[in-house]
Amino acid sequence: MLNFASMRTLGWLWVSWLLLVTREQALPAAGLDGCDLVIRHGRVVDGTGAPAFHADVAIKNGHFVAVGNLGGIRAPEVDASGLVVAPGFIDVHTHVEDILEQPEAEHFLRMGVTTLITGNCGSSAPDIAAFFEAVEAKKIAPNLASLIGHGGVREKAMGGSFNRPPSAAELSLMKQAVAQGMKDGALGLSTGLIYLPGTFAKTAELVELARVVKASGGIYASHLRDEGPEIRPALAEVFQVARETGIRAEISHLKLRGQASWGQAAEILQVLETARAEGLDITQDQYVYTAASTSIESLILDEARTGGPEPFKAWLSRPADKARVVADMKHRLQRSGREDYRYVVVADFPADRSLNGLNLAEVALKLRNSSRLEAQIECIFEIYLRGGATGVFHGLLEADVRAFLAHPNTMAGSDSGLHRFQVGVPHPRGYGNHARVLGYYVRELKLLRLEEAVRKMTSLPAGVFRLAGRGQIREGFLADAVVFDPATIQDRATFEQPHQYATGIAQVLVNGVLVIKNGQPTGARPGQVLRGNCP
Ligand SMILES: [Zn+2]
């Protein structure tokens, strides 16, 4: 005889079965005729981290409307036999303020990215509302969200003089600008604390602005003040902002730069864990390469570049000031355990593209007939004075990259801008980052499960950045999806030859519309602007 508990269990089983039956059989009758598309016979990795399962996925009006055995539905279909069907990837860290010039954002789509979060490292469109309106008028292929950049806000409020705290009036202007950005739909505030003018901001200023963002429900995303020997105090500063305001905080492109800091990933992750244990809501993102990329002129003392190239020229003409800049550069090299700048490769120098792809020792040999450090430093000055260049900065430890990637709160962020195909020698991350996670780190190294890697690129970022209704293959969710072959997905872009699209990605959908079909871009631009819901 059945006791009460087992009857209850049976009853629960019955209800579950009924739900399953209803889910699989009743849905077609409930309006699935006229679906726009059914992705058939795929292995669904739904974005939550749950084990993959075989199912068809039906899409209607830009949403997933059914997931299951949908043999009865007649609709246009995509065959995903042998392939994985995952939510479209969210790239949480990009710099695509110029997306109006390349609205198809092809190299992002081709690595499975369907949503870009831009406005990072303190640098965003100055007017979020105008930017979003222009994007909507132009129409773009991926979805787009933005943070409001602290650097731009600070620059506008303080004019050309940055190396000081803001006056009360200036701080008030900055708060207003941040509040406006949040009202216009920014997801939060970004800081770039190694860049001008953010580098001159003290923690108290960041706390004041974070308070405004917190009141609007936003996030604080920070390019740390230091990613090498001083990373601990730099992290402590983020924690202080989070602690004093209660804001959620994101560590942008977590890394350990320079040999002197290598091998400390486990300790740094422990520092983050300790902060979380304290109750702070801290997450992080990362690109999966052993090189960084930023402007070459960032190697020059901030103070000397405050007013731009013209005042810098005057600075160099004063021997004592020039000596100070050179000494600072040598000191920083030494502190990071390096002898010179041959770890830096020119990515794109518009004033002289024959230098693209050369490291700074090679540049010095070409321009100064000497590869010595002094000649390299002169070349860095020259590059800045001739309009500046982007560079690729080698010098991260692969073991650290892996340790950061394996952590459950690390998301994928390429840190890439939009590249013109075949122009310059940019960092390969914009062409390969998300595919590299799945090809190299999941399939080849087995560093993490496929389902877990997909979670870190979908539901985790959707949750952290509050992108409602995205990041999962689930009924009612927006139909951003990527269909790929787990056996062949791979990044092809290398440091030497970065302009190579990722492979193994068959279909990419944004809001239910195919933007990559059978591996080729369709030219469709169904992307939406994703505004934060500022109360
Ligand atoms: Zn950055």
Task: Express each pLDDT in 252-289 by its tens digit.
Answer: 999 999 999 999 999 999 999 999 999 999 999 999 99
Residue 19, pLDDT > 70, answer: no
Contact by Cβ (8 Å): 32, 63: no
Average confidence score pLDDT of the chain: 94
DSSP β-bridge partners for residue 91: 116
Banded model confidence at residue 501, pLDDT cuts 50, 70, 90: very high
On whether the CB atoms of residues 89 and 457 are closer than 8 A, the answer is yes
Lookup: tokens for 4: 């009460």
- 416, two tokens: 């890439």
| Residues in CB range of 160: below 8 A, 6 or more apart | 306, 307
Q: In Å, how far from its chain's centre is CA 245? A: 24
Residue 70 predicted with pLDDT over 50:
yes
Query: Which residues lie closer than 8 Å to 273 by C-beta, 6 or more apart?
Result: none
- CA 190 – ligand 1 centroid, Å: 9
CA nearest 451: which of 477, 467, 472?
A: 472
Closest CA to 286 of 160, 429, 156, 423: 429
Q: Examine the pLDDT at 131 and tell me if it is beyond 60.
A: yes
CB 506 within 8 A of CB 519: yes
Ligand 1 centroid to residue 120 C-alpha, Å? 7
Q: What is the mean pLDDT of residues 63-81?
A: 95
Q: 44: helix, coil or strand?
A: strand
Residues 178 and 101 in one domain: yes
Q: How far is the CA of 224 from the centre of ligand 1 (A)?
A: 8
| 239 in the same domain as 129 | yes
Give residue 111 CA to ligand 1 midpoint distance, Å.
21
Assigned domain for 51 exists: no
Q: How many A from CA of 33 to the centre of ligand 1?
A: 47
Decide if 331 is inside a domain. Answer: yes
| pLDDT given for residue 130 in this prediction | 98
Q: What's the pLDDT score for residue 13? A: 43
Ligand 1 center from residue 226 Cα (angstroms): 11
> Which CATH number does the domain housing residue 514 bear?
3.20.20.140
pLDDT (0 to 100) of residue 533: 80
* Burial readout 217-252 (b: 16 or more C-beta within 10 A, e: otherwise): bbbbbbbbbbbbbebeebbebbbbbbbbbebbbbbb
pLDDT value of residue 535:
58
Residue 406: which domain range? 89-294+394-427+448-485+503-521
Q: Which residue has the higher pLDDT, 18 or 474?
A: 474
User: Tokens for 81?
Assistant: 């036999």
Q: Is residue 469 part of a domain?
A: yes
Judge if 371 and 455 occupy the same domain.
no
Residue showing tokens 């708060």: 175
In this predicted structure, the answer to whether residue 345 has a pLDDT above a threshold of 80 is: yes
Pair (399, 389) in one structural domain: no
pLDDT digits (tens, 9 = 90+) for 153-194: 999 999 878 889 999 999 999 999 999 999 999 999 999 999
Mean pLDDT of 304-328: 95
State in Å: Cα 407 to ligand 1 middle.
20
Lowest mean pLDDT across 80-94, 295-309, 504-518: 295-309
- Ligand 1 center from residue 122 Cα (angstroms): 8
Q: Provide, rounded to the nearest whole percent, the portion of the chain with pLDDT above 70.
A: 94
| Residue 346 and residue 413 in one domain | no
CA of 478 to the centre of ligand 1 (A): 29
Do 201 and 319 share a domain, yes or no? no
Peptide bond into 428 cis (omega under 30): no
Distance 429 CA to ligand 1 centre (A): 14
- Compute the distance from residue 350 Cα to the ligand 1 centre, in Å: 21
pLDDT computed for residue 429 by the predictor? 98
Query: Does residue 53 lie within any of the structural domains?
Result: no
Rounded CA gap, 55 and 33, in Å?
A: 18
**Dihedral of alpha carbons 128, 130, 133, 135, sign:** negative
217/344 same-domain check? no
What distance in angstroms lies between residue 232's CA and the mean position of ligand 1's atoms? 17
- Identify the pLDDT of residue 379: 98
Cα 92 from Cα 119, distance rounded (Å)? 10
Question: Do 399 and 250 lie in a common domain?
Answer: yes
Q: Tokens 């399953």: give the residue.
A: 20
pLDDT digits (tens, 9 = 90+) for 321-332: 999 999 999 999
pLDDT value of residue 31: 65
Question: 35 C-alpha to center of ligand 1: Å?
Answer: 42
- At 273, the amino acid letter reads E
- Total domain count for the chain? 2
In angstroms, what is the span from residue 223 Cα to ligand 1's centroid? 5
Q: Rounded to the nearest whole angstrom, what is the distance from the C-alpha of residue 192 to the centroid of ligand 1?
A: 6
In-domain check, residue 200: yes
Q: C-alpha distances in angstroms, 103 versus 88, 250, 526?
A: 18, 27, 11
Summarize pLDDT for 196-235 with one digit per residue, the tens. Answer: 999 999 999 999 999 999 999 999 999 999 999 999 999 9
- Peptide bond before residue 197 is cis, with ω within 30 degrees of 0: yes
446: phi > 0 → left, psi -120 to 50 → alpha, else beta; which? left
Q: Please write the tens of the pLDDT for every residue from 442-454.
A: 999 999 999 999 9
56 Cα: distance to centroid of ligand 1 (angstroms): 40
Contact 41, 483 (CB under 8 A): no
Residue 6 banded pLDDT, cuts 50, 70, 90: very low
331 with 362, same domain: the answer is yes
- In this structure, which residues have their CB less than 5 angstroms from ion ligand 1? 121, 223
How far away, in angstroms, is 93 Cα from ligand 1 center? 8
What is the CA(252)–ligand 1 centre distance, in A? 6
Same domain, 402 and 363: no
322-351 as b/e, with b when 16 or more CB fall inside 10 Å? Answer: eeebbebbeeebeebebebbbbbbbbbbee
Burial of 34 (0-12, 13-18, 19+ CB in 10 A): exposed
Q: Could you tell me if 198 and 105 lie in one domain?
A: yes
Q: Averaged over 106-119, what is the pLDDT?
A: 98
User: SS3 for 133?
Assistant: helix
State the pLDDT at residue 25: 39
Name every residue whose Cβ is closer than 8 Å to that of residue 161 and which is 6 or more positions away in sequence. Answer: 306
Residue 44 lies in a domain: no
- pLDDT of 10 > 80? The answer is no
For residues 363 and 265, membership in a common domain is answered with no
In the predicted structure, residue 482 carries a pLDDT above the cut 80: yes
Interval 427-433 mean pLDDT: 98
Residue 178 forms part of a structural domain: yes
CA of 518 to the centre of ligand 1 (A): 34
Sign of the dihedral defined by the CA atoms of residues 72, 74, 80, 86, in that order = negative
Does 158 map to a domain? Answer: yes
Going from the Cα of 191 to the center of ligand 1, the distance in angstroms, rounded, reads: 8
Question: Tens of pLDDT along 406-424?
Answer: 999 999 999 999 999 999 9
